[in-house]
Amino acid sequence: MNQRGFRYSSPLQTANRFRGGGKESLRQEKATAVAEAECARSSGFSATAARLGSTKSTSELSMAYGKDLALAEALRKKAVPQARVILEGAAAAGTETPAASLLDK
């Protein structure tokens, strides 16, 4: 994210930036959502999270990182549908982004 010029200290700060009708424009929110999705995919974060979620170590991880996992899940539940709407809107407008391929995942 930093390499693309997004200087957020955490996913929570990113989510809060656009909450409640902040000053950021919709264009900036879309750019941030696309960058975050591409970053998660290219870094292997998404694949690692999926793999860890399907192993028997889930309960051990939940005990050690319960609050962090709950926050990540809450952010995902909000961000994924929001990103899907943004990407589908871009596709309908004929301005598909490289992240549009993520809709099939």
Q: What mean pLDDT is predicted for residues 33-54?
A: 77
In this predicted structure, the answer to whether residue 69 has a pLDDT above a threshold of 60 is yes
In this predicted structure, the answer to whether residue 34 has a pLDDT above a threshold of 80 is yes
Q: What mean pLDDT is predicted for residues 1-19?
A: 78
Write out the residue range of the structural domain in which residue 75 sits: 2-104
Domain count, the chain: 1
Supply 47's token pair. Answer: 């694949």
Q: What mean pLDDT is predicted for residues 31-51?
A: 79
pLDDT at position 49, please?
74
The CA distance from 90 to 88, in Å, is: 5
State the SS3 of 42-75: HHCHHHHHHHHHCCCCHHHHHHHHHHHHHHHHHH
